[in-house]
Amino acid sequence: MIETGLKDKVVIVTGAAAGIGKATARRFAREGCHVASWDVREGEAEPGGLFRQVDVTDAAQVEAAMEDAMARWGAIHVLVNNAGIIRDGQLIKYKEGALAGQMSDEQFDSVVGVNLKGVFVCTRAVTPRMIQSGGGVILNASSVVGLYGNFGQTNYVASKAGVIGMTKVWARELGKFHIRVNAVAPGFIATDMTKNMPEKILKAMIEHTPVGRPGQPEDIANAYLWLASGAASFISGAVLSVDGGVVTGT
């Protein structure tokens, strides 16, 4: 058994009310961490932790929530930038030679706001506190579509590709402060976000996953835990695909 070295560490998990975020908060709590769970929706704290409603795009809310964690535990060791949304749609739709629809500004801006700017806002806020504590780990949620693209997801793909770019920049900038920065790129994961998708699409996703099943939120939580642990102490600037060997296509 690998010793993670995470007991009593302070961990912030965004988007922690459900799905991957909830599983991640729970996994770190089981490891003996103090977990601050954030979400724009209502949720529950893990044992020994706290929950706060936070809009990750709002710098003032993020700053106040950071101060809450610092006041309670005196340090922040791990940030998991997990919060994310989807607003799918094609760039344009043409039907019978005429424009029939297009992705709206609201669709684009809302997704990029949460998935990309939210990661920036939270990381900017936590970094000085990690430096004061002697270092830390920042983990960002990307996606396999950020690596390969996906039909009907201009906004989501742009945000997740941007997360990869920011991850690599921050790994370069923050390494001298003993802060490691990595990204996780999940494949098809069974969450509330995917449960409402048409059966035909769900079946196609599983068919494109060589291991023959969707991932579970716990699969991603375990990846976050490992990247935060001492076992990954020489890994920074990496993108870890947790996707069952997914084969992308249109």
Please, what's the b/e burial string for 194-220 (b: 16 or more CB within 10 A of its CB; e: otherwise)? eeeeeeeebeebeebbeeeebbebebb
CA distance from start to end of the chain: 41
C-alpha–C-alpha distance, residues 246 and 113, integer Å: 27
Q: Return d(Cα 29, Cα 6) in angstroms, integer.
A: 10
Residue 53: strand, helix, or coil = strand
> What angle is formed at CA 202 by the lines to CA 198 and CA 204, rounded to 5 degrees?
115
Specify whether the CB–CB gap between 249 and 201 falls below 8 A.
Answer: no
Q: One-letter amino acid identity for 132?
A: Q
Task: Output the DSSP codes for 17-40.
Answer: TSHHHHHHHHHHHHTT-EEEEEES
- Answer yes or no: 156 catalytic: yes
From the list 139, 187, 195, 188, the residue with the least C-alpha distance to 164 is 139
Question: Among 94, 148, 156, 224, which one carries the catalytic annotation?
Answer: 156
Cα–Cα distances (Å) from 65 to 25, 51, 121, 127, in that order, read 16, 10, 12, 14
Is residue 233 within 8 Å of 33, Cβ to Cβ? no
The catalytic site residues sit at 156
